[in-house]
Amino acid sequence: MTTNETLPETDRHKLEANLARVEELTQRLVDAIARRKPINPALHGPEPTLYAKAMQAYWQEWAQNPAKVFENQVGYWGKSLGHFMEAQQALAAGKLAPPEDTGPKDRRFKNPLWDSHPYFNFIKQQYQISSDAIRDAVEDIEDLEPTEKRRLRYFAQQITDMMAPTNFFATNPDALQKAVETEGASLVKGMENLVADLEANNGELIVRLADDKAFTIGENIATAEGAVVWRNRMMELIQYSPTTEKVHETPIVLFPPWINKFYILDLKPENSLIRWIVDQGYTLFVVSWINPDESYRDIGLEDYIEDGYLTALRLAREICGTEKINAVGYCIAGTTLALTLSLLKKRGDKQVNSATFFTALTDFSDQGEFTPFLQNDFIDGIEAEVNATGLLKSFIMARTFSYLRSTDLIYTPAIKSYMMGETPPAFDLLYWNGDGANLPGRMAVQYLRGLCQDNKFSDGTFELMGETLNLRDVDIPLISITAETDHIAAWKDCFRGVQKMGARSKTFVLSESGHIAGIVNPPNKKKYGHYLNPDLTLPADEWQKTADYHEGSWWPVWEAWLRKRSGKKVAARQPGDSSHPVLAPAPGTYVRVKANQ
């Protein structure tokens, strides 16, 4: 009698259907992977020389201080052997239970079986012992340059994160339990999710973080009322509709980063910074950048400044009939706003009344968590990639940022989607995070080489548009908003850049939370507080230590600062005018262009 004949009729049909589905999905999986276009191998990891240097330093340590090396090795062997013997003794005594000490807590191992089941507990504890040994081995290597040590530390952590037992079906109790409970249906659904992600990204495995069917731009996300009043090859300029009868005379032009879409500032009404600014009585213009294709390969920072910044500033002044503008730059757009202000200073142009920087780096002397990716082997790989394709593609940047938080942004979502068969959540922030943008090849290299690697703007040697730009030229009133746990634009690095700016009037705000939540922090949530300290001559740590802590959002602090620099109240302005007609309702057309098109 066959296995199928021993099953009830309904279960047999279900099994046959699942097997047929798996066969179909397997073929689609093979087809999707076959369409993958390989990228430069240098973008996958460091040159072998890093590991060669580490091995050389390790052997040198062995020769000079063998006792220390032996001590570490014997310590690891002893812990592993002791762990094994405890398990063996429990089995020999017929006690199928984990030891009393079930190991340190780790949120990856929150399933109770990691502590209560001897098999899973043994695997967990051995993984933690091995991870500690790798970490200790890296830290004990002394004859290695600090930058190389930092890179080695990062890549060693990537290896241990990748080898976590939660990442494998046979050693993940959540996945095993789900498969049993669903009679294998969760595995079929997980394979469907895997194949769908591969097919959506031309064979590249990019884990989908949010349900992309749950959101439609302009319908339930990015819904603030306004209109596109100008469009060129680089951007659409959106003017938002007033919600007050009177507005401040001086308008605001907000430049979001072109690495992502602008609607992070307009996810939904209750956390929309765009809506909040308009509700405070300001005329607000927001730039929506083009999502470039291969034809933009020769577009550089000068094009973003000329056809983006300078054009948007000019148009806002023309539409509002003012001589001055208050400018805002977020992340890389804040960096480029500083470049623009230096250029205007060189030209004797005083049209910008004040500048606001959101999590904007201008001094790259400390590369922070990006150190592993800002060395020549990686940048050479990126340069080769953009020379071949014309673009730094969105998925390459997304992968780089994700690996800085690989457990949260890669492995945990992959486990839920591919092993557990769960549908990604309908989470607007994660939807936005997955809606990335490409970077023009030339601009990417300018930024990575001239600013990130060589730090020429801070050093006063960055040449652009016929001028030598200098961070000290940023001498208009400014306010910098940073975030305490920001791993992209570390607040201490932002602080150092502000210290070098030439303005007499400088305000620095440190918000709690990170790169996104620290900025998208509406007052009604009463969630994250902020620090203020007028003494910017202090070292960063001392500045925070002596700062005043305030509960709640920094938004009202910024508005009070901005109000003093925004002039008298005038009648509210509707989007556009006779010379700048409405071209499309907000959020416009450029924001809808996907990176993989």
Instruction: Indicate the DSSP class of residue 336.
Output: H
| Contact call for residues 360 and 259 (beta carbons, < 8 A) | no
Give the distance from CA 505 to its chain's centroid: 31
Between CA 39 and CA 205 the distance in angstroms is 13
Between CA 33 and CA 519 the distance in angstroms is 38
**For residue 98, which of 110, 112, 108 has the smallest C-alpha distance?**
112
Question: Could you give all domains of the chain from N- to C-terminal order, each with its CATH number?
Answer: 44-171 (no CATH), 226-371+436-592 (3.40.50.1820)
Q: What's the pLDDT band for 59 if we cut at 50, 70, 90?
A: very low
| pLDDT tens-place string over residues 386-441 | 999 999 998 888 888 788 788 888 889 999 999 999 999 999 999 998 898 999 99
Q: What's the pLDDT band for 491 if we cut at 50, 70, 90?
A: very high
Instruction: Indicate the DSSP class of residue 580.
Output: B
Between CA 197 and CA 595 the distance in angstroms is 15
Angle between helices 146-162 and 48-64 (to 10 degrees): 110
| pLDDT tens-place string over residues 533-562 | 999 999 999 999 999 999 999 999 999 999
The single residue of 320, 331, 452, 494 carrying the catalytic annotation is 331
Between CA 196 and CA 212 the distance in angstroms is 12
**For residue 437, which of 227, 340, 296, 329 has the smallest C-alpha distance?**
296
The two structure tokens encoding residue 6: 């021993």
The pair phi, psi for residue 468, each rounded to 5°, is: -100, 110
Q: Which residues contact 186 (CB under 8 A, 6 or more apart)?
A: 175, 178, 179, 419, 420, 421
Q: Can 331 be counted among the known catalytic residues? A: yes
Query: Given this model, what pLDDT does residue 159 score?
Result: 84
Between CA 123 and CA 165 the distance in angstroms is 7
The pair phi, psi for residue 24, each rounded to 5°, is: -65, -45
Higher pLDDT, 407 or 277: 277
Lowest average pLDDT, out of 112-121, 297-306, 347-356, goes to 112-121
> What pTM was computed for the model?
0.87
The percentage of residues in the chain with a pLDDT greater than 70, rounded to a whole number, is 86
Three-state DSSP class for 238? strand
| Contact call for residues 168 and 418 (beta carbons, < 8 A) | no
Between CA 341 and CA 14 the distance in angstroms is 66
Higher pLDDT, 162 or 299: 299
Average pLDDT on 310-325 reads 98
